[in-house]
Amino acid sequence: MTLLGDSITAGFGLPSAEALPVRLEQALRAKGLRVRVRGAGVSGDTTGGGLARVGYSVQDDTDLCIVALGGNDMLQGVDPKTVRSNLEAIIASLKARDIPVLLAGMKAPPQYGAYAAEFDRIFADLARNEDVPTYPFLLEGVALDRRYKQPDGIHPNAQGVRIIADGLAPVVAKALSV
């Protein structure tokens, strides 16, 4: 399995043993699954960056690719139509290689107004239209709680990563069983 993403999946600011790929693998193994989670996160990456590297960042023997991109697009104000198009192309690229996809969603803060409404719809719409499972919000239980963030107020700390991994693991386990 591969986590295609940005700084959150790359483990920004954390020792490698605390990064999301390691913690997700541990959570899945605790459920009795024999898995290996490869990290393909690049700090600062947008959906455009993920699209540019999906062909070489996700190996052909991947049994599931979790696409966890969009946060940097949102922070940079990238047009939601572009975000949607890039994610569609990433999913199409993976499907063309017979690699199942799980889409991890992202949400914009409400103060982003109309942008947030349009951005937030992307992930559920794509999951439905592309018939891929989704984890609606990668930062569920972490985003609004400073206890689970690093001092920058954006990236999860080690405890926050554990919360993400524990929330994501059942959805991943179900996607792997299909």
Contact indicator for 5, 67 with CB cutoff of 8 Å: yes
Catalytic residue selected from 7, 45, 57, 73: 7
- Residue 137: Cβ-neighbour burial (10 angstroms; 0-12, 13-18, 19+): middle
Closest CA to 142 of 4, 23, 54: 23
Q: Which residues contact 129 (CB under 8 A, 6 or more apart)?
A: none
Residue 16 bears catalytic tag: no
Catalytic residue selected from 61, 98, 152, 177: 152
Residue 177 bears catalytic tag: no
Catalytic residue selected from 45, 57, 73, 155: 155
DSSP state of 102: E
What's the chain's Rg over C-alpha atoms? 15
Closest CA to 161 of 35, 4, 42, 21: 21
β-strand pairing of 2-5 with 38-41: parallel
CA angle 145, 138, 161 (to 5 degrees): 60
Q: Among all residues, which ones are annotated catalytic?
A: 7, 152, 155
